[in-house]
Each structure stands twice: as C-alpha cells, then as structure tokens.
Structure 1
Amino acid sequence: MSDWWEITGGVTAPRGYKAAGIAAGLKPSGAPDLALIVSDVEAIAAGVFTMSQVTAACVDYCRQRLMSAAGARAILCNAGQANASTGNQGWLDALESAMTLGQALNISSESVLLASTGVIGQRIKMDAFKAGIPKLVESLSENGSDDAAKAIITTDLVTKSIALETTIHDRPVRIGGISKGSGMIHPNMATMLAFVTTDAAVSPGLWQEMLSRAADKSFNAITVDGDTSTNDSLIALANGQSRTPAITEMGAEAEKLEAMLTAVCQHLAKAIARDGEGATCLIEVRVSGAQNERAALQIAKTVTGSSLVKSAIFGRDANWGRIAAAAGRAGVPFEQDDLRIKLGDFLLMEKGQPQQFDRKAASTYLKETAAESSLPQDVAATNNSNDLTVDRNTLKTQRIDNPVIIEVSVGNGKGEGKAWGCDLSYDYVKINAEYTT
C-alpha cells in the first residue's frame, strides 16, 4: 500500500499554482493551443529534455535558463508549431515569447520556461501568439489544469492528468502533472511534453536529481514508434507553499517525495503509451532476474519497442518467439536456458524451452484486455492529423490500469525493470502518412 492517495486538480492541485488554456489561433482547427502554468511565488525548477542532436528553440532556451538559475514562475506552452529547425529567427521568437509573457505577468522573462509542440520546421505564429497572451493570463485559475491539458495536445486522443497527496511533517504535500504525447515516442525522452508541480520545498540540486531518476523510470521507459522528438521536455516546479521544512538531502521525507514524483511521472508516461497513435492497448513488460536494474530495463525497453512484438499483440497472436528474439538482441548477456516468458497467466517458455499452452485462450486474453481499455467510439474516431488536434467537445481519460502483461525472466539476478508501450496497428501508418499532407 502506497503512502499517498489520488486527488483531483492536476497541476493546480498543489498550493500556489494557477493554470489556463485557450485557443489563440495557432491551430487551423481553432482548438485550444496555448497553455500556461504559474506559481504564486518563485519556484525551484528542474528539467529533463530530449537527447536528440536536433533540438527546438524552447529546449535550448530552457536548458540555458536552468543552467544560469534554478528558479521559475511560469511554464508557457504552444501547440501547433514545434519551432524546431527554425534557425536564429526561431530562437528570437522564443526570447520574444518569454518577454511578452513576462510583461503580461509583471515578472522577469528569466522566470519563464517554454515548451512547444507541433510540426517541425514551423515557427510559432507570433502575431496570434502575442494577441492571445492577455486572454491567457486573464484566464488563469486555480481550476485551470484541465484547460491547460487540452491546450497542449496535438494528435492525442485524450488528455493526461494526475495529482497525488501525502503527508510530510504532518502537513499535506501534493504533486500534480499533465502531459501530452501520442507519436514520435521513444526512450531517452520520449513527441512528449510533461509539466509537474509540487508545493513541497526542495533544494535545487536534489529536485533535479529526483526528477532525473523519476524520468528514467517513466518517460525514459516508454515507446510507441522508436522515434525521439526534437521537443521532448519534462519540467517540474517546487514552490514550497505546503509550508513544510525544506528537503535538502536524501532521507525518509525525500524518499517519500521522490516515490510520489515517480508515481506521477509513471502514470503520465503510461497514459502517453496507451494513447499511442492508432493503438488499441497498453503493453507492460516486466523483466526480472537480470544482473542489475539497468540491464533489466534495457531488455524491457527492447521487447516493448519491437515492431514484431507490437504487431503480434495487435493481431492478438501469442507469438512468444518474437518476445524471445527481442530479449535476446537487447545487448544484455544471459543464458538462453534461463529464459522464461509469460503472457498474462499463460506460461509460454520455461528454461529456454517452449511450453504447451492454450493459444485460443491466450488470444482471447489479448482481445479482452484491449476491449476493456478501449476508448468510446465518439473519442476513438479517426484522428484529424492535418489539423494536429483532436477537435472533440469532450476528451475522456484513457484507462491504463489493465495493460497486456508480458513477463520475462533471464536468470537469478536481483535486477528488475519495467517498460511500457502499445501495439502497432494499421492506423499508425495512416496517421503518420497523412501528417502534413
């Protein structure tokens, strides 16, 4: 049993935060496309960003800001244009974005962090952007998390949000988060954006360490299609408004806060994987018996990212050979005779040898799992990728509590790891084939 519980409110559940999301005219569809999260006071900021050598202006901007100072008041995100591979003018647009918001909030532009999502190679529509800032600031609300979550999505079918609460020093402490992502998702920051807030008080260095470790166990452990984006960003603010003593080193309080932070990030990461473009189910790969956690995670990522495994799951085919092959090519040494594979409750391989199992029942397990976590028809309709948005009146939360479970054991080591992904369907090709045409 965990030391925390789920609450409502997303990124505005922690004390001292407001959020907003509006339609500023950045998306052709007219859907929400500009989001803002603001702390009432200067907050400690941390970030984890894409490992790609091709980076968006917002990523370069945030890295520069966080290297010079660990404080921030606001996170501003636009959807529709990625502002990546846009040269010096894209960089100037980022600077102007921060300055425009800073003036509207009456804070320093140095306290503004940026994120963008959309088509690579397209600059932000600055005229519409600047015209929308006053309305965005005016819309800030302690109940604005859902609006912000809607304004950051592109090809997503659902919004993604979570908030948890615990007690530290007998006072409530909360962490909330929102994220977006559906395609171009792969470990080493899988296109995804995630914004996390907490009212805990944490020292800058420790907060960054916590976030990096949480990212490794969540956003760096998901894959949809094997592609890492130019814009991937995970940004976290800690404003201390819970009025609890500052956490400056690892100990019981720090471990509790980090565990809750990891839980928030894992929820958001799994929601991204389940909402993979064209996906019909979430896949969870659990690896045990490896030499260490890193080795186990490497195997789990490789199995989860295998196009053949993903295709078999979509076809409801319990093809254990594809799982074994993926585990074997993960770059982690193990004895073939130690390999054990399960799909749900079905034992497929033991001691490196295939086992007799009911293939029809295993296929039914895959079908039923996908059906139980499927979206209602009004939400699961074909996505309009031309507009880079899901223009629906109501976005529903995707179920992530019933994934297809694949268990792989490779020996007697203590290393364990988990990774998440989704199946690979015909619709994935359709969505991405028509992305900009």
Structure 2
Amino acid sequence: MTTREEKEVLQAKETSAITKIENGSIVTPKGFSSDGVHAGLRYSRNDLGVIYSEVPANCAAVYTQSHFQAAPLKVTQASIAEEELLQAIIVNSANANACTGEQGLKDAYEMRERTADLFNIKSHYVAVASTGVIGEFLKMDKIRSGIEQLKPHSTHEAAEAFQTAILTTDLVMKTSCYQVEIDGKTVTIGGAAKGSGMIHPNMATMLSFVTTDAKIDSASLQALLSKTTDKTYNQITVDGDTSTNDMVLVMANGLAENELLNEQHPGWNDFKTAFHKVSEELAKQIAKDGEGATKLIEVEVTGAKTKQEANVVAKKIVGSSLVKTAVYGADANWGRIICAVGYSEAQVEPESIDIYLGDICLFTDNRPQSFSEEVASEYLKQDQVKITVHLGVGEEKGKAWGCDLTYDYVKINASYRT
C-alpha cells in the first residue's frame, strides 16, 4: 500500500520540473549572498562566515535536544521570537561557545549586535551559530575583527568561502541545490551544512543552513522543516553522541515572487519534494563524511507496523558499533544486524524477517541463507553500502544513514583538542 505522503511525492515527480542544480549553493536563490574569512580562531582555513538576505526573510529552525544548549542557540531563538524574521546568520567554527555561562551568552549577543551593525539591520534579524570545542571562551578580539572583514557576494567563490568557514573535522563541504517551477516562477532552494563527528541528531554536532527565494509563511515553513527533519537529519548517526550546539535554520525571502505557499497551494507538494531532496542530500553527505569514515551506509526497513518503528529500527542498525565495524572490515556478519533489530523495541516477528546486503539475501524464513562470502565481502568494499531489512509485520518503511567505524575515528577524537 502506498501512503498518502508517498503518493504526493510521486505526483510531484510526475507533474513538475524539479531540477537539481549541480553547481548551486546557498547563494543561488535570489537575494542571498555570503562570505567567509580567516579570523584567526584556528591556525588556518576560514573560521567565520555569514549568510545575508537583501530583505528580511521568513524563517524556521530546529535545535539540539541536549539539556546543555549553547549560547548561540539561545540568542538565535530570542531573535526569531521577536518577529519570525531573519536577514543574516553569523557563524564561527573552532569554538562552540557552549557551557560558557553568562560570558558566553554575552559574547553571542555581541556577535549578533556587531553583525547587525555591519549590515545596518535590526539586531534581532541576526541568527548566531557556533561549532567547535566545548567549554572555551570565544576570542572576541578576533571575532570583532573578522566580522568587519566580511563582504558578502552572490558568487560561487563566496559560497565556498562560507562553506569552508563552518567546517571542523569535516573533510569535504556539504551543499545541495534544487529548483522547482511554481506559479510560473522559478523557485530555488539551496543548502550548506557541516558535520562529521558527534553526530546523532535529535540534533547533534551539525549545522545546516537552507536558503530559498520562495514566498512562504513562517508557520508553514516551520511545520515543513520539523517534519522533514524527522525523515532526514534525525535519521543519520555517526557515533551515537548528541552535542550542545547545532541546528537547522531556514530563511525564505520571497523574492521568487510566487503566490504565498502553504498546504492549500497547488504547488505545495512540488516545493515539499524539492525541500526534502535538499535536506536528505545534506544529511547523507554529513553521514558519509563521518570522522574517519570510508563508506556511507544506508539502511532501509520495510514491512514495519508503523513508520516510526521503521525509522527506529533503521537507525538502531546503522548506529550499531558492531554493524559499523563489520562494514568497515567487509564482513557480512548478519548476526549483528539481527541483534540491532532485536533491541530496537519495535514490533518484530522473528519468523518473518528478511535481511539483504545489496541484492544478496542473507537471512529469511528464520534461517540463514547460502551466499558467497567472497561476493558479499566485495560488495562491502564499495564506498556506499545498502542494508535492507523486511520485518513482515506491516506495510510501513523508513530509512537511516550512517558510516563505518574505523581506526581513524579513534585517532581523530583521541586528540581533538590538540
């Protein structure tokens, strides 16, 4: 049976021109610009960046569920609470400004004020984000100087300058961009993200920034972001650790000049599909770039009683250290997958479970299947691996993404501060 949401996505694919923009970025939507500079918060590479909209933009955000939300998140929440409008996002890497008390909060507010002064906009039109080491105070002399150096442009180079500024242990930049036709107008959605370690959202050490020139009210945008986050960012895991800082933040400035988007608009499903594509691509890029990772693992669970249980089982499997190390070692040890399903607390009937590694059936009818260990091992040596588990108790499905667990993960995190 096809769910209503799946029908909507299929319909969107059939009736609209949703186009992936290969070289698109956060500055591809109309009216957005960005920049990144080396302020000196780390030895080399950009460490301070900004995204700017020509006009105030409707906005939406989701935040880490950690009890220790960092100062920048508190400032961003305060900004959005004023008018539900943003015009700039200031971001620093190298220092999370987390667990830094009143001084940390004061510093985050100063970042907001100085960015507002730079663009001559209201202070609460600025969001603040930070990522890096927890428990150290910001070097505000360098932050102040860095903000003064920011000169946003709408070029590919300016987008890359921002994207490099937000990275920590990441090896690659994460970006995605799609366009869709709505009301005869070209609507663009662009995104940039960072995240490599301490990734186990709801949310985790990841930052994702999405820009769009769509005209959409904040309430509809917030509902869409929250729902999309549950299916994308919250379905990735690298190491099972949830951090203090991070968030997904969306700005929609309306410069595409389409009619106001909401669930009643005939183009809503098209926009929702394009928005989901951007979010899923960013989430998968984060998972693939996990610290020390060599492979992206996708787990699809089908035949679940509920969609929530399908997502839970998928994430348990991809988050299992034993599964992750087996994938790293190219060992088709399906017993580790069974174990993860078993402790997932989802409804399971052992006699009805099927397990596939790619197209290779490993387990069905409650008994192991004959397969070539050599063929399975060769499959696991690829840089993308798919595990499929059919529960056989319902008709719902879900996905999760992660990466293998390697020796390099330990090396990176054993010396993170040094």
TM-score bracket for this pair, using the shorter chain length? over 0.9
Q: So what's the TM-score if we normalise by structure 1?
A: 0.90
Match of 1:406 among 383, 387, 397: 387
Aligned to 2:282: 268
The letter for the 2-side match of 1:319 is N
Do the aligned residues in 2 keep the contact of 1:339 with 1:408 (CA within 8 Å)?
yes
Kindly indicate whether residue 308 of structure 2 is the aligned counterpart of residue 327 of structure 1.
no
Pairing of 1:273-288 with structure 2 (within 5 A): 273-288=287-302
Q: Between 140-149 and 18-27, report the one with greater CA deviation.
A: 140-149
Contact 2:204 2:244 (8 Å CA) reproduced = no
Single out whichever of 146-155 and 250-259 deviates more from structure 2. Answer: 250-259
**1:265 to partner: Cα distance:** 0.7
Give 1:47-126 correspondences, 5 Å limit. Answer: 47-126=61-140
Q: How many residues align?
A: 402
Deviation (angstroms), 1:139: 4.3
The correspondence of residues 280-359 of structure 1 with structure 2, limited to 5 A, is: 280-359=294-373
Shift, 1:134, TM fit: 1.8
| Structure-2 separation of matches of 1:365 and 1:184 | 28
Q: Separation in 2 of the partners of 1:244 and 1:251?
A: 11
What's the counterpart of residue 243 of structure 1?
257
Kindly report which structure 2 residues correspond to 1:177-216, keeping only aligned pairs within 5 A, or say none: 177-216=191-230
One-letter identity of the residue aligned with 1:167: E
Any conservation in 1 of the 2:32–2:51 contact (CA below 8 Å)?
yes
Aligned to 2:411: 430
Post-superposition offset of 1:43: 0.2
8 Å contact kept, 2:238–2:319:
yes
Residue among 157, 173, 181 paired with 2:171: 157
**TM-score (structure 2 length as normaliser):** 0.94
Q: 1: CA distance between counterparts of 2:121 and 2:359? A: 56
In structure 1, what residue type is equivalent to 2:154? S
The equivalent residue for 2:24 is 9
Give the deviation of 1:412 after TM superposition: 4.4
Give RMSD over aligned pairs.
Answer: 1.2
1:23 counterpart = 2:4: no
Amino acid at match of 2:32: Y
Letter matched to residue 253 of structure 2: N
CA contact (8 A) 1:190 1:219 kept: no
Q: CA deviation digits over 1:370-408, x for unaligned, max 9?
A: 2xxxxxxxxxxxxxxxxxxxxxxxxxxxxxxxx200000
For each residue in 1:106-164, what CA deviation from the matched residue of structure 2 results, as whole angstroms up to 9, or x when unmatched? 0011100010001001122110110111211x243343211111110010000111111
> Structure 2: which amino acid aligns with 1:352?
N
The alpha-carbon deviation at position 255 of structure 1 amounts to 1.8
Kindly state the Cα deviation for residue 66 of structure 1 after the two structures are TM-superposed.
2.1
1:86–1:122 Cα contact (<8 Å) kept: yes
Does the Cα contact within 8 Å between 1:21 and 1:151 map onto a contact in 2? yes
Alpha-carbon distance between aligned partners in 2 of 1:141 and 1:311, rounded to the nearest angstrom: 42
**Identical-pair percentage:** 45
Q: Return the offset for 1:292.
A: 1.4
| 3-state SS, counterpart of residue 93 of structure 2 | strand
Letter matched to residue 397 of structure 2: E
1:70: Cα distance to partner? Answer: 0.9
Per mean C-alpha deviation after superposition, the further-off stretch among 424-433 and 253-262 is 253-262
Q: CA deviation at 1:313?
A: 0.2
1:141 aligned onto 2:154: yes
